Structure 1
Amino acid sequence: MAQLDNTPVAECANCQQRMSVRELVEDPQYLPQGMRFAGTGIDRNELFFQHCRPGCGATFAVPALYFAPLIDEHLTPAVPVDSDDCGRHCFAVEDLSACEHACLYAPFRRLLLRLRQDKAAV
């Protein structure tokens, strides 16, 4: 796994706790919830997390681009969203289906699902 630093990349809107990619990946109080396609380019897409801290429970979004160092596969150009090859999983945060398409967004979805699996095992 890539070297992670402690630079804050998000802040919880409810309790104002700031968190780094390292914390989002390693700390069990941050539960990955889903991913949303927010426009062309990975800089416009977001991963959603729930802050499972007592008294909080907020859900917040983090730009997917912050997680690029954790992707260990080649990031290919996106499959056009209007093509028959797109499963359209990234349009709904609650869609946690796996996607095996060769597209820019699929590796981020696979990372999100792996994080969910790792945190469920704790």
Structure 2
Amino acid sequence: MTDQPIDSATAPFRVCGSCEKQWASSYDFVVDPEVRLLGLQMVPKSPKGNLLVFGHRCGTSISVFAKRLGDLLADPDDDDADPDPVVSYEECKRHCPKVEDLAVCDRLCPRAADRRLVRAIFELKRGSK
């Protein structure tokens, strides 16, 4: 890596910290056959800090804030669709605490958009083959 300043207009979406492979866009990153989604890491008191964790073929893991991948949703504004959710502990299916649990959840909660994003990524990967 160089110590050159980064021009955000031309900077790649992500650069692998290990092998330095670059992806120009979020789409290029998620459909790359050498990248696989490992899980969704939730931050309980700060949903904007939720991360999607990916594994790269070189053996490294790459974390991306879910918000940075919001453009992959059919409706990018969908992440604000549940501004005042009411989900009791009894209603929660408890998918979120398990990083490897990528199942779709039908509950309305602050994490719902990120779980929809996971499904969108799976569909994009399937469609790019």
Contact 1:98 1:113 in 2 (8 A): yes
Tell me what 2:89 maps to: 83
| Pairing partner for 1:111 from 97, 109, 117 | 117
Q: TM-score, normalised by structure 2?
A: 0.68
Distance 1:93 1:86 in 2: 16
The change in CA–CA distance for 1:69 and 1:14 in structure 2 (over 3 A counts) is same
Distance 2:86 2:14 in 1: 29
Q: Which moved more, 1:39-48 or 1:16-25?
A: 16-25
CA RMSD of aligned residues (A): 2.8
Q: Which moved more, 1:72-81 or 1:24-33?
A: 72-81
**In terms of Rg, which structure is larger?**
2
**Residue 28 of structure 2 corresponds to residue 26 of structure 1:** no
Tell me what 1:14 maps to: 18
Is the partner of 1:35 in helix, strand or coil? Answer: strand
Q: TM-score, normalised by structure 1?
A: 0.71
**How big is the shift at 1:62?**
0.5
* Identity value in percent: 30
Describe the superposition over 1:3-59 as per-residue Cα deviations: whole angstroms up to 9, x where unpaired: xx975343323213333313223322222222110243332100111213xxx0322
**How big is the shift at 1:95?**
0.7
